[in-house]
């Protein structure tokens, strides 16, 4: 399936919410309502970068009750490959961008008897949407937000204002204070656990839950891996008959797109599996960075997720 048609949007408002996070309010250029969405959905923002087109996924923070605008929040990444820096430095009210229609890879489970949501840093963005949906329902929920300090906790404070009894804020000065083990220990059977935040936090929460015997079906997390930089490598695209070089700062998917070849994608973060591509020939090693393929599939070396994965190779031929 080729990529979805994008929606032209204009930036209505830019709001610095913490020293590192800016919130952007987007509206359709033609003034029509944006597509309805479910809590946990993200869009991919297409940015006209100076050297090339940048595409990053960002979670939608609001609800479908008001579809005149979408809200996203972008944390400036110290290791930005261009996307978050562009959003922070080049985007202002009136700027024109494009977005893909919403996709939800982090939905609430509709059969849960209780929801437990843990988030850290900018991982609060999908949880913002979840909480705004949950306050209108009758299923109990509990939210724990981690932040470095109070000046980094603006979005968490806003959530606390919406659901004062459900939201707890944990400030990490001088060190982490969210006691995941005891939070999990207090949950009744039937609780679904959701976690979004830095990679280390997700791993810790999921490992703690598994060790405590939580069933896999009740564990949910969202982690968009930013495509890591690496050594340049050459790729042959057999179907389109092209030979391309993937530069250090560009992902394989971006290099394929830059060569004018349409490739499928949804999350651009190694999570959804949509961009899975067959490896026809390989002399070297695939550097898998996705969380989609199983360990066995990665070891087989016959497929790759080009949105985040790379190769250290003399030859790589892809069915694309």
Partner 1 sequence: MTIAFKPDETYRDDFTFRNSPAAIRRFPFPFGEDVYRYAVNIEPHVRGGPTAAYDNLFDIDEHYIAECRERALVLAHDPKRCQALPHMMAAQWDTLELLMENLSTDYPEHFSLVRDGNAWHWTNRALGIEQHFVFGDAGTLPCEPLEYIGRQMQGDLTLQDQREDNLFMDAGMVTCQADWSLEFDLGMKFHEWHGPVPLAHEQGVFDRALKFLLNLQLGRPVRRLNWTMTINPRMDTSPEQYPQWGPDRTTITPENAGSRVHLRVELQSLFRLPRSNAILFGIRCYLISLEELATIPKWSRRLHRVLQTLPPELVEYKGLSRFRDTAIAWLAQRDDGAPTSVGTAPD
Positions touching partner 1 (CB under 8 A) are 1, 4-5, 35-38, 41, 64, 101-104, 107, 109-111, 217, 266, 272-274
**Judged by CB, which is closer to partner 1: 36, or 300?**
36
CA 288 from centroid of its chain's CA atoms? 18
217: number of Cβ within 10 Å: 9
**Judged by CB, which is closer to partner 1: 44, or 311?**
44
**Per-residue CA distances from 63 to 59, 100, 133, 166, 273 (Å):** 11, 17, 7, 18, 26
**Judged by CB, which is closer to partner 1: 88, or 298?**
298
**Judged by CB, which is closer to partner 1: 52, or 218?**
218
In whole angstroms, the minimum distance from the beta carbon of 12 to partner 1 comes to: 21
In whole angstroms, the minimum distance from the beta carbon of 294 to partner 1 comes to: 13
| Strand bridging mode 21-28 / 70-75 | antiparallel
CA distance 24 to 41: 16
In whole angstroms, the minimum distance from the beta carbon of 283 to partner 1 comes to: 29
**Judged by CB, which is closer to partner 1: 155, or 293?**
293
In whole angstroms, the minimum distance from the beta carbon of 9 to partner 1 comes to: 15
Are the CB atoms for 183 and 46 separated by under 8 Å?
Answer: no
In whole angstroms, the minimum distance from the beta carbon of 28 to partner 1 comes to: 14
In whole angstroms, the minimum distance from the beta carbon of 65 to partner 1 comes to: 9
**Judged by CB, which is closer to partner 1: 140, or 198?**
140
**Judged by CB, which is closer to partner 1: 139, or 258?**
139
**Judged by CB, which is closer to partner 1: 4, or 157?**
4
Nearest to 275 by CA among 292, 258, 298: 292
In whole angstroms, the minimum distance from the beta carbon of 293 to partner 1 comes to: 13
CA distance 223 to 23: 19
CA distance 311 to 133: 41
Are the CB atoms for 75 and 20 separated by under 8 Å?
Answer: yes
Q: Residue 187 half-sphere exposure, CB side, CA atoms within 13 Å?
A: 27
In whole angstroms, the minimum distance from the beta carbon of 41 to partner 1 comes to: 8
Q: CB within 8 A of 106, min separation 6: which ones? A: 40, 41, 42, 59, 126, 194, 196, 220, 221, 222
Going along the chain, which residue ranges are E strands?
Answer: 7-16, 21-28, 41-48, 53-59, 70-75, 96-99, 103-104, 114-120, 141-147, 167-171, 191-196, 219-222, 233-237, 242-246, 277-287, 303-304, 310-318
């Amino acid at each position: 399936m080729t990529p979805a048609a994008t929606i032209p949007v204009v930036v209505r408002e830019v709001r610095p919410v913490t020293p590192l996070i800016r919130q952007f309010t987007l509206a359709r250029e033609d003034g029509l309502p944006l597509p309805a969405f479910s809590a946990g959905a993200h869009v991919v923002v297409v940015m006209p970068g100076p050297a090339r087109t940048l595409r990053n996924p960002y979670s939608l923070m609001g609800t479908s009750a008001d579809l005149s605008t979408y809200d996203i929040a972008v944390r400036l990444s110290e290791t930005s490959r261009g996307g978050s820096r562009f959003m922070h430095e080049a985007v202002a009210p009136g700027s024109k961008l494009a977005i893909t229609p919403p996709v939800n890879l982090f939905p609430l489970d509709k059969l849960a008897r209780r929801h437990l949501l843990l988030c850290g840093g900018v991982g609060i963005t999908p949880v913002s949407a979840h909480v705004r949906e949950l306050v209108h329902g009758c299923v109990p929920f509990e939210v724990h937000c981690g932040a470095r300090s109070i000046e980094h906790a603006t979005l968490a404070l806003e959530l606390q204002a919406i659901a004062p009894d459900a939201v707890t804020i944990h400030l990490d000065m001088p060190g982490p204070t969210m006691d995941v083990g005891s939070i999990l220990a207090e949950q009744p059977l039937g609780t679904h656990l959701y976690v979004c935040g830095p990679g280390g936090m997700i791993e810790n929460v999921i490992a703690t839950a598994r060790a405590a015997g939580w069933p896999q079906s009740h564990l949910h997390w969202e982690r968009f891996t930013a495509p890591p930089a690496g050594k340049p490598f050459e790729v042959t695209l057999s179907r389109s008959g092209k030979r391309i070089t993937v530069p250090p700062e560009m992902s394989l998917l971006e290099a394929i797109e830059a060569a004018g070849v349409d490739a499928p994608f949804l999350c651009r973060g190694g999570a959804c599996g949509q961009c899975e591509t067959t490896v026809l020939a390989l002399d070297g090693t695939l550097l898998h960075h996705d969380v989609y393929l199983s360990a066995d599939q990665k070891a087989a070396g016959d497929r790759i997720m080009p949105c985040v994965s790379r190769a250290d190779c003399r030859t790589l031929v892809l069915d694309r």
